[in-house]
């Protein structure tokens, strides 16, 4: 069974704890052998790099504005003038897909940051201080996770009103417990570590210990989870847009483009094919990049172990 983002990041955390001992003992040669080129990291980085380039260079890669309507060329198949064809209003689909990459990056980055910042901070505080407050907060997060995330996002967006902004907020709120659990687990393991005890002995404040000493040591699994969650957030945002609860027309969001193209699957296949291809490559890129980073940052957690 495929591991979800939190499980894969947790494996990275466990591997990061074991790696120093392995490197110091008999497993060091094996760890060094695994430190070679990783196809999933290279491929994932390449796909994410293409997404970033498409977002940055969209005005240079197409001569059409994404909202430019040309009734005379509506529903034209792919051609030299319109590499991805045109939609029912004569808008250039290539331009809309390229500009949609900007929206995709905006959704992925903002929603993940909105989930990560409070989730990591609350997790560090709970794992470091423990006590009754940590127990209550953990039970709240468990109940939060027990509720289907996509359903919670749908309820929030329906309540706040469908838009790109509310989609980002809803997805960010849904993603908080995953970062909380990972940060809490790492803080519990590190609260009695020698470097934390030394920092306490030097009289450093709790905030400085958390931010300057504990958080950097949790960087590897958190980076993995951040990367993997970007693909998840992008896919969830596309699903919300597909059912009309995400970004609203005329924004060229890929989920909305897929929704508009489903009515023309028999007569204009390109309307759904190219946004779907962009979706597939982007989500695959984030997932491969996250898996590659997990293997690179904690080699002991490779799939063969």
Question: Can you tell me the distance from the alpha carbon of 187 to that of 185, in angstroms, rounded to the nearest whole number?
Answer: 5
Residue 127's pLDDT is what? 87
Domain boundaries, the chain: 101-245+270-301
Helix 270-297 to helix 93-129 angle (10° resolution) is: 30
Give the end-to-end CA distance of the chain in Å, rounded to a whole number. Answer: 15
Question: Can you tell me the distance from the alpha carbon of 175 to that of 149, in angstroms, rounded to the nearest whole number?
Answer: 8
Mean pLDDT of the region 34-50: 83
Strand partners, 86: 92
Distances (CA, A) of 71 to 80, 89, 213: 18, 6, 61
Q: What pTM does this model have?
A: 0.82
Residue 64's pLDDT is what? 92
- Is the pLDDT confidence value at 303 over 90? no
Q: pLDDT tens across 100-131, in order?
A: 999 999 999 999 999 999 999 999 998 888 87
Residue 37's pLDDT is what? 62
Q: pLDDT tens across 52-80, in order?
A: 999 999 999 998 999 999 999 999 999 99
CB 191 within 8 A of CB 206: no
What rounded mean pLDDT belongs to the chain? Answer: 84
Q: pLDDT tens across 210-249, in order?
A: 888 888 888 888 999 999 999 999 999 999 999 989 888 8
Residue 10's pLDDT is what? 58
CATH class of the structural domain 101-245+270-301: mainly alpha
Mean pLDDT of the region 162-188: 92
Q: What percent of the chain has pLDDT over 70?
A: 85
Question: Can you tell me the distance from the alpha carbon of 125 to that of 180, in angstroms, rounded to the nearest whole number?
Answer: 10
């Amino acid at each position: 069974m495929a591991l979800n983002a939190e499980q894969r990041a947790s494996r990275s955390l466990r591997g990061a704890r074991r790696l120093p001992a392995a490197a110091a003992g008999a497993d060091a040669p094996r760890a060094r052998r695994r430190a070679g080129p990783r196809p999933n990291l290279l491929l994932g980085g390449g796909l994410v790099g293409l997404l970033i380039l498409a977002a940055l260079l969209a005005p240079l890669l197409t001569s059409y504005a994404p909202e430019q309507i040309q009734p005379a060329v509506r529903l034209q198949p792919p051609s030299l003038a319109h590499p991805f064809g045109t939609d029912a209003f004569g808008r250039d689909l290539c331009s809309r897909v390229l500009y949609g990459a900007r929206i995709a990056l905006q959704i992925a980055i903002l929603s993940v940051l909105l989930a990560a910042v409070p989730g990591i901070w609350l997790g560090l505080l709970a794992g470091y201080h423990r006590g009754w407050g940590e127990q209550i907060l953990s039970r709240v997060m468990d109940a939060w996770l027990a509720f289907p995330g996509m359903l919670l996002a749908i309820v929030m967006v329906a309540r706040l009103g469908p838009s790109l902004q509310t989609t980002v907020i809803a997805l960010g709120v849904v993603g908080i417990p995953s970062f909380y659990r990972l940060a809490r687990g790492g803080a519990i393991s590190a609260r009695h570590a020698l470097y934390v005890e030394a920092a306490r002995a030097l009289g450093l404040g709790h905030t400085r210990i958390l931010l300057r000493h504990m958080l950097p040591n949790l960087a590897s699994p958190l980076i993995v989870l951040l990367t993997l969650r970007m693909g998840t957030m992008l896919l969830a945002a596309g699903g919300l847009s597909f059912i009309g609860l995400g970004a609203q027309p005329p924004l060229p969001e890929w989920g909305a483009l897929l929704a508009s193209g489903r009515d023309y699957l028999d007569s204009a296949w390109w309307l759904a094919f190219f946004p779907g291809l962009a979706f597939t490559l982007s989500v695959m890129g984030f997932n491969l990049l996250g898996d590659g980073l997990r293997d690179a940052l904690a080699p002991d957690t490779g799939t063969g172990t």
